[in-house]
Structure 1
Amino acid sequence: MVRMQKQRGNSKYLSNCLKRLRSDMEETSEEQKRIKQGQIQVREKLEAVELECEQLQKEIKLIMHQSLNTQIRLAFMFQILKARKNQEFDKAAKVTVALRKLITRGNRQK
């Protein structure tokens, strides 16, 4: 009789341990699901940031190109004004032609 009570006690103890283990396994499983979802969200955000970075790099290159063209045009205009001031009209005409070609070429590229 004492032996049966010990077996029942052991059985209850094992049953309680199994319930606790199942509960812990469910919690672990839920935590793993949350972690996986978090990883997916982080990956999606990272991809979005990478795409935005690429777009910004393209825009920066475009702005740099436009800025360089503007500087070149301003340099030509300054040379034209300087040549006219010094009454070097033939030089002013040549630089004007070069500026027009540059502007025409820039318009074709757009």
Structure 2
Amino acid sequence: METSRRRFISGRKGKSSAKYMRRRFKKLKEEMKEICREQQSIREGQRQVAAKFKAIEEECEQLRKETHQIIRQSAKTQILLILMLNILKAREQGDFSKATNLTQLLREIIARDNVSQSTDP
């Protein structure tokens, strides 16, 4: 009698143990699916961050180019203004030879700039 009772109890334990294992396995599968979804979300977030970072880098490069162009143009403008000022001073002092040379230099610089601007994209 004791043996049959043990079988009955162990049989119940076996069923409840199997049931527990199935529930646990099902729960683990759900957790794994959730982890997979989270990982996909993280990967998508990383792709978005990488795309934004690349766009920012491209924008920075464009700003560097524009800044360099502005600096060059400012330097050219300064040179032209200095030449014009020197032409005026030479004329005021009656040094027309110097004024003529500076005027010719100014014309050459402007012509060269016009040629380079017409060939630039």
TM-score by length of 1: 0.97
* TM-superposed deviation, 1:17: 0.9
What stretches of structure 2 of length at least 5 have no aligned partner? 1-7
Matched, 1:90 2:97: yes
* Match of residue 71, structure 1, among 48, 73, 78: 78
Paired with 2:115 and 2:64, the residues of 1 have a C-alpha distance of 23
What stretches of structure 1 of length at least 5 have no aligned partner? none
Paired with 1:68 and 1:109, the residues of 2 have a C-alpha distance of 16
* Match of residue 62, structure 1, among 57, 69, 77: 69
Equivalent residues in 2 for 1:1-110 (5 A)? 1-110=8-117
Tell me the residue number matched to 2:3: none
Paired with 2:75 and 2:113, the residues of 1 have a C-alpha distance of 12
TM-score by length of 2: 0.88
Aligned residues: 110
**Which segments of structure 1 move beyond 4 Å, counting only runs of 4 or more?**
none
Paired with 1:103 and 1:64, the residues of 2 have a C-alpha distance of 17
| 1:66-101 residue CA offsets vs partner (Å, 9 max, x unmatched) | 111000000100100111111111111110000000
RMSD, aligned α-carbons: 0.7
Paired with 2:84 and 2:75, the residues of 1 have a C-alpha distance of 14
**Percent same amino acid at aligned positions?**
42
